[in-house]
Amino acid sequence: MRLMLLLMGLALLVLACSDTDVGEQVPVTLLPTETTAVSTTTTPPSPASPGDATPTTAATTTSTTTTTMPVGSIDDLTIEAVEFATGFNQPVLMLPAPGQSRLYVVEQPGLIWVIDADDDPNVFLDISDDVRLGSEQGLLGLAFSPEYAENDLFYIHYTARNGDTMIEEVNAASGMRSELLRVDQPAANHNGGMISFGPDGNLWIGLGDGGGANDQFGQGQRSDTLLGTMLRIVPESGQYSIPSGNLAGEVWAIGLRNPWRWAFDGDDLWIGDVGQNRIEEVDVVDWTDGSRNFGWSTMEGSECFGGGNCSSEGLVLPVYEYPHSEGCSITGGFVYRGAAMPELAGQYLFADYCEGWVRSVARDGIMREWLPADSFSAITSFGVDAAGEIYVVTAAGSLFRLQRAG
């Protein structure tokens, strides 16, 4: 019942034109929405390696004193996607702020909406006048300070009017925006987009290789430029400093082609790195003690890029990859840590933009497909709520909650 109320409350979002700034409220129309399941059936996940083909056996515990519900087998889990909210304009992310149940939806043209089960949606930020919008350009990323409740600070990643990548600090109380980092982009594509605070308290920024094709700007394997990298900085009062332990300057790792979406899970950093013509990949490293070179453009996935021989020594190879016969562009997501589907704990959810399936992989490298091809059109991103439940975000403007089927 609570779920139904939630779904009815966070209903159809009809966007209103506005020129509002941070925190200003605008009237929007809420309409009830149907709880339409996109797909209520999934192919039972099949083991990707013989090592996983262990028959499932019933628990044989003889204890009768516990009332804790046993966690079922992930092999018995089926997932459906239920429309949660719709009417957004090119959404690319949904996140909670620390300590809040409210959710923040990022729209690529330059708006962030805040949605609350007990209130109408409001425009939280509108920087559309300062954003260049393109297929891979726009307002791409949002990260709240871990101390947001005390300092009102959040961070955005967007494409400036001249095409540069901009990382800004924004004070939600005053509306003041401070430029932290500006990076020249030699082409319109491969701008990365995700920013996130790591468990180390630093701000991490993913940037693509500058764009075009074939790493034509020669950025992939360089640590003396900011493109094709994962950066790590310490924001400080509208400026930043560089933490100890980076490879060079702001650069924490190199060898990324276009890390559009990635996520931390404790000591693990999971990255969906978009491939060129052959392979899409998921990478995972222990960020406290891992290699710092993700291979591009020496390698595309686990292959030497362009064929021939190459050395993979010192490179992070994908924990999972798929060929372009199964998709065109990976959309990375989040590791599931919610309570509703404990079987799914530790699984990194991701999707393919063209094929519309949703899969996951864990540290063991075993892939599980939860929603088949054509379940969605144009999955731009994933979202996560304060409870750790995970959502699919589509270019058409809808958010779908992933939940237990049946």
Which residue ranges make up the site for Ca ion (CB under 5 A)? 294-295
Q: Which is nearer to Ca ion, 331 or 403 (CB)?
A: 331
Residue nearest to Ca ion (CB): 295
CB of 295 to Ca ion, least distance (A): 4
Q: Decide the pairing of beta strands 79-85 and 91-96.
A: unpaired
State the amino acid at position 396 in one-letter form. Answer: A
Distances from the Cα of 49 to the Cαs of 4, 102, 350, 362, 365, in angstroms? 39, 40, 19, 13, 9
Q: How far apart are the C-alpha atoms of 107 and 92, rounded to whole Å?
A: 6
CB of 198 to Ca ion, least distance (A): 20
Helix ranges, 148-212 (H) = 148-151
Q: Which is nearer to Ca ion, 110 or 295 (CB)?
A: 295
Q: Which is nearer to Ca ion, 159 or 297 (CB)?
A: 297
Q: Which is nearer to Ca ion, 228 or 338 (CB)?
A: 228
Q: For 185-221, give one letter per residue: b (16+ CB within 10 A) or e.
A: bebebbbbbbbbbbeeebbbbbbbbbbeeebebebbb
CB of 2 to Ca ion, least distance (A): 42
Q: How far apart are the C-alpha atoms of 313 and 310, rounded to whole Å?
A: 9
Q: Which is nearer to Ca ion, 210 or 295 (CB)?
A: 295
Distances from the Cα of 397 to the Cαs of 93, 154, 164, 377, in angstroms? 11, 23, 26, 11
**Contacts of residue 208, Cβ cutoff 8 Å, sequence gap at least 6:** 189, 190, 191, 192, 227, 228, 256, 257, 258, 259, 260, 274
Q: Which is nearer to Ca ion, 145 or 293 (CB)?
A: 293
CB of 191 to Ca ion, least distance (A): 18
Residue 131 DSSP symbol: B
Q: Which is nearer to Ca ion, 295 or 356 (CB)?
A: 295
CB of 228 to Ca ion, least distance (A): 11
Token look-up 């092999």 returns 75
CB of 294 to Ca ion, least distance (A): 4
CB of 68 to Ca ion, least distance (A): 41
